[in-house]
């Protein structure tokens, strides 16, 4: 029997433009995965069978990984691959996979986070059309946080010199950043990237949403919210922050106006405001040392917004709720 919750995947389609993405809910049960009564699923998408139709790899609460396939281009439903090519690759728990061709041989491998905070390399020893996975390393980079229940959601970005930047989402809502090669110990660049804290069980993905050549950092959490961070947070040249920047909005919730109190701003910056779909609705240049920033909210609809202070170094931001008087 299945006790408590079961998991599903919601699909949001990008209904915006190339430069201004906006997302619309398409389905709350992508692939009809709810029929399998799975828990704590974490998806990765990639073509494992070289047929042009992507498969799903799901990391599960108990550390197992299950591959799902679909013979239809409509991607309306998925069913488990039989036999499961990941049957021999169970992790410590809360498996969080990323599909990536580590050895550049034309087959997709898996780099995963797990319940104990360690990261694993699961190698695809099969062929482009017949995958078969084996656990090659269960403690990548020598990273193993103290404590029984850590969890991590890593994303690996390969650099031109062969190193990886590893963005490491943590159980406490923060993001660490490591650099290194898979066969060596990783170097910790920062344990709290850009002062990000999205709430318990941070998960992340990296993608260039607005086609500006700079990837965005997309983060989720246990509550189900999604936040998007831009530009300097995910730069391949990221280094440990030498200074801290903080920002706080008040009043919050706000009606027609709000102020952003900023500390640590010693260079010119930009104040950006995004709506809940990720659409930029406000953009203002601000001077160095400006500690109190005024936001005119007239004309904006009630709802949840995200404000961001962007500089060439650290960044800061938070959530702002706009309310309106009933008419």
Which CATH number does the domain housing residue 312 bear?
2.60.40.3080
Is 24 inside any structural domain?
A: no
pLDDT band at 1 (very low <50, low <70, confident <90, very high): very low
**Does the residue 295 lie in any domain?**
yes
Predicted pLDDT at 238: 43
Domain count for the chain, please give it: 1
CA dihedral 294, 257, 21, 283 (to 10 degrees): -20
| Beta strands, E only, 63-143 | 65-69, 79-80, 96-100, 109-113, 119-124, 133-137
Residue 311 is assigned to a structural domain of this protein: yes
Residue with the bigger pLDDT between 189 and 195: it is 189
* Closest to 182 in 3D by CA, of 241, 104, 85, 116: 104
Residue 92 in any domain: the answer is no
Average of pLDDT values for 283-298? 85
- Cβ neighbourhood burial of 256 (10 Å; 0-12, 13-18, 19+): middle
The CB density around residue 221, as the number of other CB atoms within 10 Å, is: 18
User: Is residue 10's pLDDT more than 80?
Assistant: yes
- Residues above pLDDT 90, as percent of the chain: 49
pLDDT tens digit sequence for 137-182: 999 999 988 655 678 999 999 888 889 999 999 988 889 999 999 9
- Condensed to tens digits (0 to 9), the pLDDT of residues 73-84 reads 556 788 999 999
Give me the domain span that covers residue 254: 246-322
Residue 245 has pLDDT above 50, yes or no: yes
Question: CB-hemisphere CA count at 13 Å for 81?
Answer: 23
Query: 318 lies in a domain?
Result: yes
What is the mean predicted confidence (pLDDT) over 42-50? 94
pLDDT at site 310: 77
Query: Rounded to an integer, what distance in angstroms lies between the CA atom of residue 308 and that of residue 316?
Result: 6
Query: What per-residue confidence (pLDDT) applies to 84?
Result: 96
> Do residues 89 and 111 touch, judged by C-beta distance below 8 A?
no
Number of Cβ within 10 Å of residue 273's Cβ equals: 23
Whether the per-residue pLDDT at 252 is higher than 70: the answer is yes
């Amino acid at each position: 029997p299945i006790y408590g919750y079961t998991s599903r995947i919601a699909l949001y389609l990008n209904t915006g433009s190339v430069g201004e993405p906006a997302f619309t809910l398409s389905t709350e049960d992508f692939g009809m995965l709810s029929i399998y009564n799975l828990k704590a699923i974490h998806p990765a998408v990639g073509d494992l069978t070289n047929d042009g139709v992507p498969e799903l790899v799901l990391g599960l609460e108990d550390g197992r990984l299950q591959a799902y396939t679909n013979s239809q281009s409509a991607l309306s439903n998925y069913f488990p691959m039989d036999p499961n090519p990941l049957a021999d690759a169970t992790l410590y728990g809360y498996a969080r996979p990323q599909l990536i061709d580590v050895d550049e041989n034309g087959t997709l491998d898996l780099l995963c986070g797990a319940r104990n905070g360690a990261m694993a390399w699961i190698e695809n020893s099969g062929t482009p059309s017949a995958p078969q996975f084996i656990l090659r390393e269960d403690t990548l980079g020598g990273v193993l946080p103290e404590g029984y229940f850590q969890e991590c959601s890593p994303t690996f970005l390969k650099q031109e010199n062969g190193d990886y930047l590893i963005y490491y989402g943590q159980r406490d809502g923060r993001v660490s950043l490591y650099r290194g090669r898979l066969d060596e110990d990783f170097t910790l660049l920062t344990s709290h990237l850009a002062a990000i804290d999205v709430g318990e069980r941070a998960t992340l993905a990296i993608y260039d949403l607005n086609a500006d050549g700079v990837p965005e950092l997309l983060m989720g959490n246990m509550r189900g919210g999604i936040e998007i961070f831009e530009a300097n947070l995910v730069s391949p040249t990221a280094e440990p922050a030498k200074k801290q920047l903080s920002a706080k909005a008040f009043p919050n919730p706000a009606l027609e106006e709000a102020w952003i109190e900023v500390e640590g701003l010693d260079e010119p910056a930009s104040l950006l405001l995004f709506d809940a779909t990720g659409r930029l609705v406000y953009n203002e240049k601000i001077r160095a040392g400006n500690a109190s920033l005024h936001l005119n909210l007239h004309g904006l609809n009630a709802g949840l917004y995200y404000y961001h202070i962007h500089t060439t170094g650290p960044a800061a931001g938070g959530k702002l709720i706009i309310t309106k008087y009933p008419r």
